Structure 1
Amino acid sequence: MARYPAVVGFSSMTLFARLENPRGHGHTGRGAKRDCSERLANMTTGKDMQHQETGDVVIRRAVQDDIPALDAFARGMGQAHEAGYFARCLEEQAAARRQIFLAIDAASGVLAGYVQLNDYPLYAAFRRFGLPEVQDLNVLPDFRGRGIGARLVAYCEDVARAAGKTEMGISVGLYASFGAAQRLYVRAGYMPDGAGIAYDDIPVRAGEMRAIDDNLTLKMTKSLVP
Structure 2
Amino acid sequence: MMSVIENKVVVITGASSGLGAETARHLAKAGARVVLGARRIERLESLSSELRLHPEAMQKTDVTDRAQMQALVDRAVNLYGRVDVMLNNAGLMPSSMLDKLKVDEWDRMIDVNIKGVLYGIAAVLPYMQKQMSGQIINVSSVAGHKVGPGGAVYAGTKWAVRAISEGLRQEVKPWNIRTTIVSPGAVATELINTITDSDIAAGMAKTYEKAIPASSFARVVEFAINQPDDVDINEVLFRPTTQAY
Query: Taking structure 2 as the reference length, what is the TM-score of the superposition?
Result: 0.30
Which structure shows the bigger proportion of residues in strand conformation? Answer: 1
Question: Which structure is richer in relative contact order (CA contacts within 8 A, separation 6 or more)?
Answer: 1
TM-score, normalization: structure 1?
0.32
